[in-house]
Amino acid sequence: MLKQRIITALVLLPLALCGFFLLDGGWFALFIGAVVSLGAWEWARLAGFDAQPARVGYAAVVALLLLLLYRLPVLAPALLVVAMLWWGVATALVLAYPGSSRYWGGGPGKLLIGWLILLPAWQGLVLLKQWPLGNLLILAVMVLVWGADVGAYFSGKAFGKRKLAPRVSPGKSWEGAIGGLLFCLVLTLAVGLYRGWSMSGLGLALLGAALVVAISVVGDLTESMFKRQSGIKDSSQLLPGHGGVLDRIDSLTAAVPVFAVLLWLAGWGTP
């Protein structure tokens, strides 16, 4: 398993870095769209559609919706607002699971939820790429998500006692989540001091980082919730040793649109 993970990482990491940071415009949107479409193919299985024609059809519909969004950028603000509302609802669903499953709307409802998770993530990355310092913004949100994961892992191993969401993901603890948050806040503080941000700017950056980290945890738990309900361990086996695409981007699907909205409200760019 470890050998598989290492080989997969060595192959995919350069491809991912080139796609995220070297591509621009339509090519970047196409690259992210391909990743999101694979995630849609996996999501259809979580929604209870095991047959390949149904899964491929759902992925194709998502790809067409992404093309529509690319052609109609005026829809971006509305989609980001919907994403903010959705992740608020998702937080409540995770907290109330398993009772909350009665509100998912069955198979059709779960397919709609897949749109709410995947489409805004694509839109957020496309917007970030277009804004000033686009590559650095994308790197920043990734560092926050990865930093939260790393901090949570080590602090959870060392201090984890109280379960964060035992009915959704028994391995996660409050101590781990707090450790991941503190690690990201320290990173943000270090960057702010190095860049010479004002006290007010630094305060807003710390608040924004805390919100992004918190919602990234919700993104992770949301996918875990649907996998648990479906009795599925990994979203697929597309990435040997790592599970599926959704398993790798679940936190980012929540963090990216929230990060984009916070920057938008701060006047960084215009959707």
Q: Are 44 and 55 in contact (CB under 8 A)?
A: yes
In the chain, alpha helices (H) = 2-21, 25-46, 52-71, 76-96, 106-130, 134-159, 174-195, 199-230, 245-265
User: Per-block average pLDDT, block size 10, for the chain (271 residues)?
Assistant: 60 80 94 96 93 96 98 96 97 95 93 97 97 94 94 92 92 95 97 93 96 97 93 78 82 97 87 58
* Residue 234 in tokens: 């990994």
pTM of this prediction?
Answer: 0.94
| pLDDT score, position 2 | 46
Q: How far apart are CA 243 and CA 92, in angstroms?
A: 27
| pLDDT score, position 131 | 94
270: left (phi over 0), alpha (psi -120 to 50) or beta: beta
| pLDDT score, position 80 | 96
Element (H or E) spanning 165, and its range? Answer: strand 163-165
Q: What torsion, rounded to 10 degrees, do the Cα atoms 70, 74, 80, 85 define?
A: -130
Q: How far apart are CA 93 and CA 70, in angstroms?
A: 30
* Residue 233 in tokens: 């361990």
